[in-house]
Amino acid sequence: MSALARAAMDPPAPAPIFDLARTRGRGPADTFRTFAVSARLGWQLEANWTDPFLFFVYSVAKPVSSALILVVMLEVIGGPAGRSFRPFVVVGSALWSFVISGIAGLAWAILEDRERYRVLKYIYVSPSDFLVVLIGRGVARLVVGLAGVVITLVVGVVALGVPFDVAVVDWPLLAASSVVGLGAIIALGLLMAGVCIQTRQESWSYPEAFAGALFLVTGAVFPLAVLPAPVQAIGLLAPLTWWIAGVREALFPGGPDSIGGPGSLFAALLGHPSPTGSEIVIALLATGGVATLAALAVFRLSDRRAKRAGLYDRTTGS
Amino acid sequence: MAASTMSFLERAGTGPREAARWSRRQVLLTDLRSVRGRAYPRVKGLLREPSWVLFEILLPFLATSAFVFVYRAIDAPQQYVGFVVLGGALSAFWLNVIWMMANQLYWEKSQGNLELYFAAPMHFMSILFGMAVGGMVMSSTRAATVLLIAGTLYGVTFSVDQWALLLGVFLLTLGALYGLGMVLASLFLVWGREAWHMGQLFTEPVYFVSGLNFPVARLGFLGALSVAFIPLATGLDAMRQLAFAGAAFPAGTPPPLVEVAILAAMTVVSIVAARWMLIAMERRARRDGRLSVRWQ
Amino acid sequence: MPGAILPLAIETRAVRRVYAARPQPIVALDGVDLEVPPGELFGLLGPNGAGKTTLIKILTTLLLPSSGTARVFGFDVERETKQIRRIMNMVAGGEQSGYGILTVREQLWMFTQFYGLAGGEGWRRVDELVEAVGLAEQRLQRVSTLSTGQRQKMNLARGLLNDPWILFLDEPTLGLDVSAARSLRELIVEWQRAVPGRTILLTTHYMAEADELCDRIAIVDRGRILAIGSPTELKKRVQRESIFRIELDRLDGGAGALARLPGVVSASAAADVADSVGRQVVVMNLVLEDDGALGRVVGALAETGSRIQGLRKSEPTLEDVFVELVGRGFEDSEAASMVPATEEVG
Number of domains in chain C: 2
Instruction: Check C99 against A317: CB less than 8 A apart.
Output: yes
The percent of residues above 70 in pLDDT, for chain A, comes to: 87
CA distances from B8 to B4, B84, C86 (A): 9, 56, 17
Mean pLDDT, to the nearest integer, of A258-285?
92
Q: Which residue has the higher pLDDT, A83 or C209?
A: C209
Looking at the structure, do residues C231 and C204 belong to the same domain, yes or no? Answer: yes
pLDDT of residue A1: 41
Tell me whether residue B147 is in a domain. Answer: yes
User: Cβ of C147 under 8 Å from any chain A Cβ?
Assistant: no
Number of domains in chain A: 1
Give chains near A: 3+ CB pairs under 8 A: B, C
pLDDT of residue C62: 92
User: Cβ of B3 under 8 Å from any chain C Cβ?
Assistant: no
Tell me whether residue C344 is in a domain. Answer: no
Tell me whether residue A15 is in a domain. Answer: no
Please choose, from the candidates C115, C113, C143, C138, the residue with its C-alpha nearest in 3D space to the C-alpha of residue C127. C138
User: Cβ of B250 under 8 Å from any chain C Cβ?
Assistant: no
Mean pLDDT, to the nearest integer, of C255-277?
79
Q: Please list the residues that pair with C273 across neighbouring strands.
A: C281
pLDDT of residue B104: 83
| Domain with C256 in it | 240-314
**Cross-chain CB nearest to B12 (options C113, C118, C195):** C195
Looking at the structure, do residues C249 and C195 belong to the same domain, yes or no? Answer: no
Residues A23-47: tens digit of each pLDDT: 666 677 778 888 888 888 877 776 5
Distance in angstroms between the alpha carbons of the first and the last residue of chain B = 39
pLDDT of residue B276: 92
| Domain with B67 in it | 23-288
Q: A81 pLDDT band (50/70/90 cuts)? A: low
Looking at the structure, do residues C230 and C263 belong to the same domain, yes or no? Answer: no
Mean pLDDT, to the nearest integer, of C253-281?
79
Looking at the structure, do residues C32 and C125 belong to the same domain, yes or no? Answer: yes
Tell me whether residue C54 is in a domain. Answer: yes
Looking at the structure, do residues C268 and C294 belong to the same domain, yes or no? Answer: yes
Instruction: Give yes or no for a contact between B37 and C127, defined as CB atoms under 8 angstroms apart.
Output: no
Number of domains in chain B: 1
Residues A212-234: tens digit of each pLDDT: 889 899 999 999 999 999 999 99
Residue A80 pLDDT greater than 70, yes or no: no
Around Cβ A305, how many Cβ atoms within 10 Å? 13
Instruction: Give yes or no for a contact between B179 and B271, defined as CB atoms under 8 angstroms apart.
Output: yes
Average predicted confidence (pLDDT) for chain B: 87
CATH number at residue C279: 3.30.70
Mean pLDDT, to the nearest integer, of A50-63?
82
pLDDT of residue B188: 79
Distance between A317 CA and the closest CA of chain C, angstroms: 5
Residues A126-162: tens digit of each pLDDT: 877 888 888 888 888 888 889 999 999 999 999 988 8
pLDDT of residue B3: 39
Tell me whether residue C302 is in a domain. Answer: yes
Test mutation, B7, B11, B17, chain C, max C CBs within 10 A:
B17
Length of chain B: 296
Q: Which residue has the higher pLDDT, C328 or C318?
A: C318
Q: Which residue has the higher pLDDT, C337 or C8?
A: C8
Residues C65-123: tens digit of each pLDDT: 999 999 999 999 999 999 999 999 999 887 778 888 899 999 999 999 999 999 999 99
Looking at the structure, do residues C215 and C286 belong to the same domain, yes or no? Answer: no
Distance between B53 CA and the closest CA of chain C, angstroms: 17
Tell me whether residue A292 is in a domain. Answer: yes
Give Cβ neighbours of residue A300 (< 8 Å, ≥ 6 apart): none
Instruction: Check C163 against B117: CB less than 8 A apart.
Output: no
pLDDT of residue B278: 87
Distance between A311 CA and the closest CA of chain C, angstroms: 9
Tell me whether residue A9 is in a domain. Answer: no
HSE-up of residue B215 (Cα within 13 Å, Cβ side): 22
Mean pLDDT, to the nearest integer, of C159-164?
94
Chain A residues lying within 8 Å of C335, measured CB to CB: 3
pLDDT of residue B35: 96
Looking at the structure, do residues C139 and C254 belong to the same domain, yes or no? Answer: no
Average predicted confidence (pLDDT) for chain C: 86
**Could you tell me the strand order of the sheet in which C26-36 lies?**
C26-36, C10-19, C67-72, C75-76
pLDDT of residue B235: 96
User: Cβ of A5 under 8 Å from any chain C Cβ?
Assistant: no
| Domain with A59 in it | 33-309
Q: A179 pLDDT band (50/70/90 cuts)? A: very high
Q: Please list the residues that pair with C71 across neighbouring strands.
A: C11, C76
Instruction: Check C102 against A4: CB less than 8 A apart.
Output: no
Residue A168 pLDDT greater than 60, yes or no: yes
pLDDT of residue A48: 59
Looking at the structure, do residues C233 and C246 belong to the same domain, yes or no? Answer: no
Question: What's the rounded Cα separation, in Å, for the pair A120 and A99?
Answer: 24
Average predicted confidence (pLDDT) for chain A: 85
pLDDT of residue A310: 78
Mean pLDDT, to the nearest integer, of A101-119?
84
HSE-up of residue B34 (Cα within 13 Å, Cβ side): 22
CATH number at residue C200: 3.40.50.300
Residues A198-207: tens digit of each pLDDT: 887 667 778 8
Does residue C2 have a cis bond before it (omega within 30 degrees)?
A: no
pLDDT of residue C330: 64
pLDDT of residue A20: 65
What are the residue ranges in chain B where pLDDT is below 70? 1-7, 10-13, 192-193, 291-296
Tell me whether residue B27 is in a domain. Answer: yes
pLDDT of residue A23: 63
pLDDT of residue A161: 85
Q: A238 pLDDT band (50/70/90 cuts)? A: very high
